Amino acid sequence: MNWSTVRELVKINILYSNPQTVTAVKRKQEKNPRKNFSTYKSVIRQQIFLSLFFAVISFLCMLILILSIILVTFLFTQRFSLSWQP
């Protein structure tokens, strides 16, 4: 299979997947006509940024959850280990 054809199909798919983003990029291009914007690169960059952002948020939430479980477990075991004296 020809990889350039696949690449062009991916570009078209990206452009049609989110028309609101494409419209925003076109508005940005109209404001700055001297700059050369690539619409699909801009959309890919935005999707990568959002994916990384949500990955970091998810990681931090899971880290807080795990640390709170460890803290509760530690405090629970300390409480009962201190009260139990033969």
Q: What is the pTM of this model?
A: 0.66
DSSP helix/strand/coil, 35: coil
Q: Which whole-number Å values give the CA distances from 39 to 3, 54, 76, in the listed order?
A: 20, 23, 55
> Are 25 and 39 spatial neighbours (Cβ–Cβ below 8 Å)?
yes
Q: 53 is written with which tokens? A: 């952002």
Query: Greater confidence, 82 or 58?
Result: 58
Tracing tokens 């570009």 back to the chain, one arrives at 11
> Are 29 and 37 spatial neighbours (Cβ–Cβ below 8 Å)?
yes
Average pLDDT of the residues in 8-37: 83
Size (the chain), residues:
86
When pLDDT is cut at 50, 70 and 90, the band that residue 16 belongs to is: confident
